[in-house]
Amino acid sequence: MEVLMEVRNLSKYFPMKSGFFDKDTNYVKAVDNVSFEIYKGETLGLVGESGCGKSTTGRMLVDLLEPTEGKVIFDGMDIRELKKKNRKELSKNIQIIFQDPYASLNPRMTIGDIIKEPMIVNKIAKGEELDKRLLKLLNCVGLASYHKDRYPHEFSGGQRQRVGIARAISVNPKLIVCDEPVSALDVSIQAQVLNLLHDLQHEFNLTYLFIAHGLNVVKHISDRVGVMYLGKLVEVAEDESLYNSPKHPYTQALLSAIPVPDPKKKKERIILSGDVPNPINPPTGCRFHTRCEKCMGICKVKEPEMIEVGNNHRVACHIYDKNKL
Ligand SMILES: Nc1ncnc2c1ncn2[C@@H]1O[C@H](COP(=O)(O)OP(=O)(O)OP(=O)(O)O)[C@@H](O)[C@H]1O
Ligand SMILES: [Mg+2]
């Protein structure tokens, strides 16, 4: 499979001043040395608890945030270089859909103008052609043509998210980062929006990075899934491999929390003890060791590296490390 985006050793540290006279700066290690790739045409799910760095990662991929370290290579080119050479090309190719469709839509603009804006900025169409494209896009995302003259507050959450999707696909992007696009929606609407994203993927040859809290949301739509914990990517695998044989104790705990529909099937639930540690001062060694049932001596002192444990299945855990001390 062809790689569309390669994320290499990406980190984002946010400086935190503890007091006005304090000279020492602490850092929130929101994303810390994360590497993965996104293949052309796939949906890569990215999951993890609140605050583990999913949005920060997503924002760096669309160039809304500058990485502290590391690189994002898109179609063979560093996005920072791409930005210098051709900023429009970058925004045309990589788009983002946000969790809260209300906050991301300008309340003073009509839906038509909101969807047209990126096409005008990127000089994709004008005049009659622009209006034609607008109507086609509204139709593609399941909205009616008369909706174009309305304002965001006149829409439901699900409809607003459809506007966000129309706006994102209007510029024919290759990759869309979907940052929890259905988390704010009613459960019944979630499925509709997920189906829409799925249909559009085929129609427009899109590649998705799909961010969500839990593994249950990404289960039906991802080809591969990455699991993050406290700024680190701890496991990445093909969908089936991850759900059927999760390797990392954290992934196992996340999976055990998904309810099974069959009451006869008893499933042992792994309850994670303790709170998520503070990303300003993360635990030494493996960041998960303070909550891990299988913690060994080495886990407290040595950070595990990502290792291949099967067909395209990678995990960062000392249990699978043959060279452990
Ligand atoms: N601009 C910022 N300045 C300082 N800290 C930040 C900033 N943005 C994010 N953080 C911190 O970085 C960490 C990761 O945040 P991020 O929003 O990426 O998490 P997330 O996985 O998307 O969480 P959620 O699931 O709640 O959306 C958090 O500890 C957060 O407080
Ligand atoms: Mg987030």
pLDDT in tens, 17-43: 766 666 667 899 999 999 999 999 999
Which protein residue's CA is at the shortest distance from atom 4 of ligand 1?
A: 14
Q: In the chain, where do the E strands start and end?
A: 3-17, 25-39, 43-47, 69-74, 77-78, 94-97, 175-179, 207-212, 224-229, 232-238, 307-310, 313-315
- The C-alpha atoms of residue 189 and residue 195 are separated, in whole angstroms, by 10
pTM score: 0.93
Which tokens in the block code for residue 89?
């090309």
Which protein residue's CA is at the shortest distance from atom 30 of ligand 1?
A: 51
**Do residues 249 and 70 touch, judged by C-beta distance below 8 A?**
no
> For 1-47, what is the HEC assignment?
CCEEEEEEEEEEEEEEECCCCCCCEEEEEEEEEEEEEEECCCEEEEE
Find the 51 Cα to ligand 2 centroid distance in Å. 7
Find the 52 Cα to ligand 2 centroid distance in Å. 8
Instruction: Evaluate if residue 123 carries a pLDDT over 80.
Output: yes
Phi, psi angles (nearest 5°) of residue 144: -95, 160
- The C-alpha atoms of residue 56 and residue 207 are separated, in whole angstroms, by 19
Which ligand 1 atom minimizes the distance to the CA of 52? 21
Which tokens in the block code for residue 284?
């030494």
Give the residue, 281 or 24, on which the prediction is more confident: 281
pLDDT tens digits along 189-202: 889 899 999 999 99
pLDDT band at 271 (very low <50, low <70, confident <90, very high): confident
Find the 295 Cα to ligand 1 centroid distance in Å. 27
The structure tokens 């705990």 sit at 253
Worst-scoring range by mean pLDDT, 135-144, 276-285, 310-319? 276-285
**Do residues 320 and 248 touch, judged by C-beta distance below 8 A?**
no
Q: What percent of the chain has pLDDT over 70?
A: 96
- The C-alpha atoms of residue 254 and residue 15 are separated, in whole angstroms, by 30
pLDDT tens digits along 200-242: 999 999 999 999 988 988 988 999 999 999 999 999 999 999 9
Rounded mean pLDDT, 305-310: 94
Tell me whether strands 3-17 and 232-238 are parallel, antiparallel or unpaired: unpaired
Which tokens in the block code for residue 252?
């196992």
Q: Quote the pLDDT of residue 18.
A: 67
Instruction: Evaluate if residue 325 carries a pLDDT over 60.
Output: no
Nearest in space to 164 (alpha carbons), one of 146, 55, 185: 185
Average per-residue pLDDT for the chain: 91
The one-letter amino acid code at 190 reads: Q
Instruction: Evaluate if residue 183 carries a pLDDT over 60.
Output: yes
Q: Quote the pLDDT of residue 87.
A: 79
Distances (CA, A) of 154 to 52, 157, 263: 34, 10, 42
* Ligand 1 site residues, Cβ closer than 6 angstroms: 14, 28, 30, 48, 50-56, 213, 279
